[in-house]
């Protein structure tokens, strides 16, 4: 027994390859596919700082099977997807394995996602022990990860997320009604290309101009037809956004003649920031840190309000949700001290969607995700008590769930939605 314990401790202290700042000029960094167009902008910004990055787009059953080979199936489904995507890509023969690293973003908190780093390292050790794992986080989960940040760099990333959120929203409001197939996608591509040029030349901070250009680009796409069934998508952050994680949910909704309504990524970032402030207020912990985060929150929220104001003035598109309004929606359903995983943000988004005309909602969650079962599926009844027309379906995503079953559950919800539309 004593020998087993010694071996176990030795395993935890084992050394793994570390990515240093000097390695960035020689290494290619692979990034999992969560938000393809957001990540296209973000990796372009990273390239401007000297990091070579590639967003992975490999998918299919072979990716999930690779994840299952290296991670216990009780582990969070997003971990299976991410690790499977890494392993499958590294096996493809496309990369110089001695000069390749992988990157994972982490927000911290009491969720299995906080354990992704050791899970990924353990999986890579089995087949690619020379590949370093980089954690991109601002919560102190891992320091000295080789990524060098300054204020200008962080501001660029924040602006890119704002622009990415607006492009995603405008695309989803245009695509279901476009007269000529592909024009919405072309508009999206033009917006991203133009923004990359602005970031290269330093014009990314001309916020009002860039927001108006995005709005005008999508407004120029010819549209027609009556309003379609609007379907909101909420849930665990990875399966909410990732085409691999949610079986191409947005594409499915578009194919069913619906208008997807996907909340902004910046809402999740503001959620993480304000939770630090709430910790000081509710529990009396981290008061010094909370003062800094409060300033960050004010800056980001100020930019969000400006984006919403410009969108409302434009009049063609529905604006993104105001985060302070989301907080008020949460207060009507659940306490803001509930912050495990996506916590109070999920019922807040459901309530905000329901009161702004998007009563039909898919709550996407990894099977066995306790925060989602409590704050997502568990809060549906409370949301429906406030908004009786709310039509919510919780859909589990895991290795054993078939795409047909997932889509059939959503089709049942859509059948109910179409009856109400008549």
Contact of 410 with 393, CB cutoff 8 Å: yes
Question: From the centroid of its chain, how far is CA 283?
Answer: 28
DSSP string, 137-191: -SSSSSS--S----HHHHHHHHHHHHHHHHHHHHHHHHGGGBSSTTHHHHHHHHH
Please give the structure tokens belonging to residue 306. Answer: 């400006």
Q: Model confidence at 299, in pLDDT bands (50, 70, 90)?
A: very high
In the chain, the percentage of residues whose pLDDT exceeds 90 is 73
Yes or no: say if 176 and 257 are a contact pair by the CB < 8 Å rule. Answer: yes
The predicted pLDDT at position 393 comes to: 94
Report pLDDT digits (tens) over 312-367: 999 999 999 999 999 999 999 999 999 888 999 999 999 999 999 999 999 999 87
Mean pLDDT of 357-380: 89
Output the pTM of the full model: 0.92
Q: What is the pLDDT of residues 79-115, one digit of tens each?
A: 899 999 999 999 999 999 999 999 988 766 666 666 7
H/E element holding 310?
A: helix 287-314
* Tens-digit pLDDT profile for residues 248-269: 999 999 999 999 999 999 999 9
Q: Write down the mean pLDDT value for the chain.
A: 90
The count of other CB atoms within 10 Å of the CB of residue 7 is 9
Beta carbons of 261 and 233 less than 8 angstroms apart? yes
User: Cβ distance 114 to 150 under 8 Å?
Assistant: no
Is residue 144 scored above 70 in pLDDT?
A: no
CB-count burial class (<10 Å; 0-12, 13-18, 19+) for 183: middle
Q: In terms of Cα–Cα distance, which of 249, 265, 259, 266 is closest to 360?
A: 259
**What domains does the chain contain, in order, with CATH numbers?**
14-149 (3.40.50), 228-263+321-421 (3.40.50)
């Amino acid at each position: 027994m004593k020998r087993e314990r010694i071996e176990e401790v030795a395993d935890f202290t084992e050394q793994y390859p570390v990515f240093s700042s000097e390695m960035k000029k020689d290494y290619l960094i692979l990034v999992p596919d969560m938000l393809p167009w957001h990540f296209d902008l973000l990796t372009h910004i990273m390239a401007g700082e000297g990091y070579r990055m590639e967003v992975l787009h490999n998918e299919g059953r072979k990716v999930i099977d690779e994840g299952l080979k290296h991670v216990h199936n009780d582990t969070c489904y997003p971990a299976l997807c991410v690790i499977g995507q890494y392993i499958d890509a590294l096996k493809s023969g496309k990369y110089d394995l001695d000069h390749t690293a992988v990157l994972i973003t982490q927000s911290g908190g009491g969720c299995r996602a906080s354990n992704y780093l050791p899970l990924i390292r353990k999986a890579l050790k089995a087949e690619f022990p020379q590949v370093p794992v980089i954690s991109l986080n601002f919560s102190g989960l891992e320091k000295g990860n080789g990524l060098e940040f300054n204020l200008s760099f962080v501001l660029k990333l924040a602006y890119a997320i704002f622009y990415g959120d607006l492009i995603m929203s405008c695309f989803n409001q245009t695509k279901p009604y476009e007269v000529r197939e592909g024009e919405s996608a072309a508009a999206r591509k033009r917006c991203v290309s133009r923004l990359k040029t602005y970031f290269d030349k330093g014009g990314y901070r001309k916020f009002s101009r860039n927001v108006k250009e995005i709005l005008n680009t999508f407004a120029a796409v010819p549209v027609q037809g009556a309003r379609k069934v609007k379907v909101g998508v909420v849930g665990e952050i990875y399966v909410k956004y990732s085409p691999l994680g949610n079986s191409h949910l947005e594409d499915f909704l578009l194919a069913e003649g619906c208008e997807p309504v996907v909340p902004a990524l910046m809402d999740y970032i503001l959620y993480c920031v304000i939770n630090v402030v709430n910790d000081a207020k509710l529990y009396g912990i981290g008061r010094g840190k909370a003062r800094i985060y409060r300033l960050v929150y004010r800056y980001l929220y100020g930019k969000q309000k400006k984006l919403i104001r410009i969108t409302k003035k434009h009049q063609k598109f529905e604006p993104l949700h105001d985060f302070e309004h989301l907080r008020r929606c949460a207060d009507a359903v659940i306490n803001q001290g509930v912050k495990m995983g996506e916590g109070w943000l999920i019922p807040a988004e459901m309530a905000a969607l329901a009161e702004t005309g998007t009563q039909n909602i898919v709550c996407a969650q990894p099977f066995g995700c306790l925060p989602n079962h409590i704050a997502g599926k568990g809060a549906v009844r409370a949301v429906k008590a406030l908004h009786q027309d709310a039509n919510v379906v919780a859909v589990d995503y895991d290795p054993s769930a078939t795409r047909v079953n997932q889509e059939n559950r959503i089709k049942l919800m859509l059948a109910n939605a179409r009856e109400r539309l008549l």
